[in-house]
Amino acid sequence: MAFMGEIEAAVHLPPSAADPNRRKLEELARLGWYHSIELPDGQVIPGFQTIDDSRRRIGQFPVPSDLRGKRALDIGAWDGWFTFELERRGARVLAVDSTSVERFRIARELLGSQAEYRIDDVCRLSPAKIGYFDIVMFLGVLYHLKHPMLALEKVCELSTDMVCVESFVTDDGADLAAKPVMEFYETTELCGQFDNWVGPNTACLLAMCRSAGFARVQLESVLDHRAHIACYRHWPDIDSPQEPAPYLTSVENATTRDREFSSTNDDYVAIWFKSPRADLTPADVFPRIGPYGSHPVILHRTGGDGWQVNCKLPPGLPPGWHAATLRTTDSPWANPVRIGVDLSAEQRRQRPARAACDIRVAIVTDGKTWERNLVHTGLGSCISLWVSGLPESAARDGIAVWLDGDDLPATFLSEPDPQGLRQINAMLPSGALPGDYSVSAAFGDAISAPVPVRLA
């Protein structure tokens, strides 16, 4: 779909209307085609945009010239120039549009193209329907959508590497420190077309792309109120890291404080870690969940060499266990910690194999009163154990607290204190009834002897 390309879907303007786009529209109507298409014999179907125009548009993005073995998605394909260009570079391409464009079918036949063609709305696409793509073209679509964030999240979910976003913007991109603002077009305010809904400034478009869940968002250019943004799902690798690796002490769902996540919620991952660097800023921290990078939303010091960083759960993770880790500017990746996404009951039972160890519970208390072997129930109440015998490599995610047979996932695991004891916290279930229970700590196949505890 292209900027003025919606004439067919748009209102039928009366011939008398003194509209500044009149000439453009008439030219388009005369030519019929929006994209020009170069045929195998060298002939060109002339369109409103020349071949050079289209080449200039794709040239704004670092799209590799060799796409052999890659799967590509062209959203809003319109007459199909970008679809056929990606195919020419070797990709298997799926073209999607909101309405069937006869010219696309004609061009596909003339070119002998193998591109698939699907009619669907962008907000209704999903990996379950169409799979995943190495590269996604999202050109000239965003400002036609009523729910731009939803669309960017959908596009992020479908991509495994790079998305090229091109959109109308209200400014020239010179002031990236501008307040991120988006104009809203209730009717025909933008170019007399009623299917334009939003006009972000460049700062807003960049911020929305970041918030959609990409690791990195790179502004390539702004030409004539069109911003070109390359969005990446991965952090670059470090060849020979010079900094020591950070150490992850805990990973949690920032809302529920457990280690499970839902891909349909707007879930955030809270990562607690230790780093020898005292000068970290969000730009120095690179979280990674499964294969995807996710940029820091907030970063703060928790005291000493401890830090907390929150990032969005990246869209598109399949159900199952995924490793969360992070690195700093010039460090190797930290110890991975597993988190669960949309877990099935079967997956929830799966635990990592661990070496046998001798775990003992030294102290049971709660996080409020610190009375021994007594835990007060109520909203947000937690049970704290101080244990010995956990192996050095134990991370919070492999640890469970068993309360009379109830598996409470650990929400926190401290480093060993001078006596070699490590603190484990677990949230009490909200409906826990007062009474006498026994509690034990488990890691892998090892489980401690039970210790009595009273819930009050």
Partner 1 sequence: MPAQRAAGDPTFYELVQRQVALLSTKGWYHSIELPGGHVIQGMIGVEALKQRLAAFPIPADLTGKRVLDVGAWTGWCSFEMERRGAQVVAVDCVEFEEFREAHRLLGSHVDYRILDVDELTPDSVGLFDYVLFFGVLYHLRNPLLGLEKICAIAKDTAFVESFVTDDGSAPCTLEFYETNELGGQIDNWFGPTVQCAAALCRAAGYARVDLEYVSERRAGLTCRRRWEPPPPHPAEPPPQLYSAVNNRTNDIQFHPGKDEYICLYFRSDVPGLTRDRLRIDIDEYGAPALVLVNLRGQEWQANLRVPPGLAEGPHQVRLRTAESAHSNAFTILMQSPSPRGAGLIPRGASAPPAAITEPPPVIYEVTNGMTGSALFQGHRNEYVCCRFRTPEQSLDRGSVILQIDDADQPVLFLTDLGSGCWQANSRLPAGLKPGPHPVRIRTLRSDLSDLAEIVSK
Q: Taking contact as CB under 8 A, which single stretch among the options 4-12, 75-83, 132-140, 232-240 is the one that binds partner 1?
A: 4-12
Counting Cβ atoms within 10 Å, is residue 262 exposed (0-12), middle (13-18) or buried (19+)?
middle
Min CB(206)–partner 1 separation in Å? 9
Q: Locate 445 and state its tokens.
A: 């196949």
Q: Give the residue from 10, 25, 5, 15 showing the smallest Cα distance to 188.
A: 10
Scanning the structure block, which residue is given the tokens 């635990």?
Answer: 351
Asked whether position 103 contacts partner 1 by CB under 8 A, the answer is: yes
Residue of the chain from 135, 165, 208, 339 that contacts partner 1 (CB under 8 A):
208
Residues of span 251-310 touching partner 1 by CB under 8 A: 255, 265-266, 297-298, 310
Q: Are 75 and 122 in contact (CB under 8 A)?
A: yes
Min CB(199)–partner 1 separation in Å? 9
Q: Taking contact as CB under 8 A, which single stretch among the options 2-10, 239-247, 334-342, 357-365 is the one that binds partner 1?
A: 2-10
Q: Taking contact as CB under 8 A, which single stretch among the options 56-64, 161-169, 202-210, 351-359 is the one that binds partner 1?
A: 202-210
Residue of the chain from 161, 195, 220, 284 that contacts partner 1 (CB under 8 A):
195
Q: Taking contact as CB under 8 A, which single stretch among the options 49-57, 201-209, 397-405, 414-422 is the one that binds partner 1?
A: 201-209
Nearer to partner 1, 98 or 325 (CB): 98
Residue of the chain from 76, 140, 200, 246 that contacts partner 1 (CB under 8 A):
200
| CB environment 38-72: b (16+ within 10 A), e (fewer) | beeeeeebebbbebeebeebbebbebeeebeebbb
Min CB(421)–partner 1 separation in Å? 31
User: DSSP letter string over 91-119?
Assistant: -EEEEEESS--HHHHHHHHHHT---EEEE
Q: Where are the alpha helices (DSSP H) in 243-378?
A: 345-349
Distance CA 33, CA 30 (A): 9
Please state the separation of Cα 35 from the chain's center in Å: 32
Min CB(49)–partner 1 separation in Å? 17
β pairing state of 116-119 and 92-97: parallel
Residue of the chain from 51, 110, 207, 223 that contacts partner 1 (CB under 8 A):
207
CB within 8 A of 289, min separation 6: which ones?
Answer: 269, 311, 313, 314, 317, 322, 323, 324, 339
Q: Are 426 and 440 in contact (CB under 8 A)?
A: no
Amino acid letter for position 180: P
Asked whether position 121 contacts partner 1 by CB under 8 A, the answer is: yes
Run of H or E residues at 202: helix 202-211
Distance CA 407, CA 306 (A): 28
| CB environment 189-209: b (16+ within 10 A), e (fewer) | ebbbbbbbbbbbbbbbbbebb
Q: Taking contact as CB under 8 A, which single stretch among the options 204-212, 242-250, 356-364, 417-425 is the one that binds partner 1?
A: 204-212
Residue of the chain from 110, 182, 374, 446 that contacts partner 1 (CB under 8 A):
182
Q: Taking contact as CB under 8 A, which single stretch among the options 78-86, 131-139, 194-202, 395-403 is the one that binds partner 1?
A: 194-202
Asked whether position 178 contacts partner 1 by CB under 8 A, the answer is: no
Asked whether position 102 contacts partner 1 by CB under 8 A, the answer is: yes
Residue of the chain from 44, 150, 176, 447 that contacts partner 1 (CB under 8 A):
150
Nearer to partner 1, 270 or 357 (CB): 270
Q: How many residues bind partner 1 (CB under 8 A)?
A: 51
Distance CA 106, CA 295 (A): 43
Amino acid letter for position 158: L
Nearer to partner 1, 144 or 288 (CB): 144
Asked whether position 330 contacts partner 1 by CB under 8 A, the answer is: no
Asked whether position 181 contacts partner 1 by CB under 8 A, the answer is: yes
Asked whether position 27 contacts partner 1 by CB under 8 A, the answer is: no
Min CB(58)–partner 1 separation in Å? 25
Angle at 206 (CA atoms; ends 201, 210), nearest 5 degrees? 145
Residue of the chain from 55, 129, 147, 348 that contacts partner 1 (CB under 8 A):
147
> 442 vs 98, 364, 366, CA distance in Å?
53, 14, 18
Asked whether position 346 contacts partner 1 by CB under 8 A, the answer is: no
SS3 405: coil
Asked whether position 30 contacts partner 1 by CB under 8 A, the answer is: yes
Min CB(408)–partner 1 separation in Å? 19
Asked whether position 188 contacts partner 1 by CB under 8 A, the answer is: yes
Q: Please report, as ranges, the residues that interact with partner 1 according to CB under 8 A.
A: 7-9, 11-15, 17, 29-30, 32, 98-99, 101-103, 121, 124, 145-147, 149-150, 179-189, 194-195, 197, 200, 204, 207-208, 210-211, 255, 265-266, 297-298, 310, 379
